[in-house]
Amino acid sequence: MKILQKFIGFFINVTGLFSRKLAARLALYLFTKPRRGKLTEKQFDFLGTAFREELTINSIPIMTYRWLGKGNTILLAHGWESNAARWQYLIEPLRKLDYNIIALDAPAHGKSGSKRFNAILYADFIKVVSKKFKPDFIIGHSVGGMASVFSQTNSDYKALKKMILLGTPSEFTDVLIRYYQMMGYSKRTVKSINQLIKDRFHAEPENFSTAKYLETLNLEGLIIHDEKDTIIPYQDALSINNSLKNSKLITTTGFGHSLVDDSISNYIYEFLKS
């Protein structure tokens, strides 16, 4: 896989010698194109226990799943190359506690639409879902956490009380740098990609910062991050915790980026009911 990545990176670098714009578009396409995996039989059966409702934003379908309860409403936002079924380990116990639970599929994931994925579009998805179902709490994993934070800016829904961020990246630029290094892009290609991002999103890449966005929010926050996370460095959790005024950081060891364990679920339950 590493050899293939470097080969593709070399091809894009060579393309950039003739057309910087084409090289940047190819590189950004790869960065925003997740593999849309098929649901396993277990995942399919689990999601079949939910009420499904398709919302839309700019004609793009947003698939939502609801497990009804009489308690507070929780919205769940999964991460890259995942789907709403990844929350089964958490949803089943939360149902027993009578929470009202909403999960969504991200752009280009699961049963939602779009051929491309980015945290800004995902944030727009979350805004639409929040306006419809009015969550008290949001739980986001990885880039789902980043998108959850971004969704709170210029949002019509202002009643969110708590946010839980699991293995969430702090700086978009750091995510980009790791991608650039993985692919072996040249300085010329990197400069072209950064310019394309600026042109498309009307902002510099460094403006998309979970930590900076959190400085403007008045929420209770729980940050959970594994100190040996090989996908999103632990330092990101420290930055996020420092930025959100009313937050608590829980550091784990040995659960990696997925953070699936009964002990972690218990931290979540305690935070929700406090």
Say if residue 2 is exposed, middle or buried (CB neighbours under 10 Å; 0-12, 13-18, 19+): exposed
Among the ranges given (50-59, 154-163, 221-230), the one the predictor scored with the smallest mean pLDDT: 154-163
CA atoms of 251 and 272, how far apart (whole Å): 18
Mean pLDDT calculated for residue range 7-32: 96
The CA distance from 84 to 78, in Å, is 6
> Taking 80 as the threshold, does the pLDDT of residue 150 lie above it?
yes
- Given this model, what pLDDT does residue 274 score? 86
Count of positions (residues) in the chain: 274
Q: Is the dihedral of CA 37, 109, 181, 233 positive or negative?
A: negative
| Residues forming a β-bridge with 171 | 209
pLDDT category of residue 1 using cuts at 50, 70 and 90: confident
Q: Where in the chain is the domain with CATH 3.40.50.1820?
A: 32-171+209-273
The Cα–Cα gap between 89 and 260 comes to 8
CATH of region 32-171+209-273, choose from 3.40.190.10, 3.40.50.1820, 3.40.50.720, 3.60.15.10: 3.40.50.1820
The angle at the Cα of 24, spanning 18 to 25, to the nearest 5 degrees, equals 105
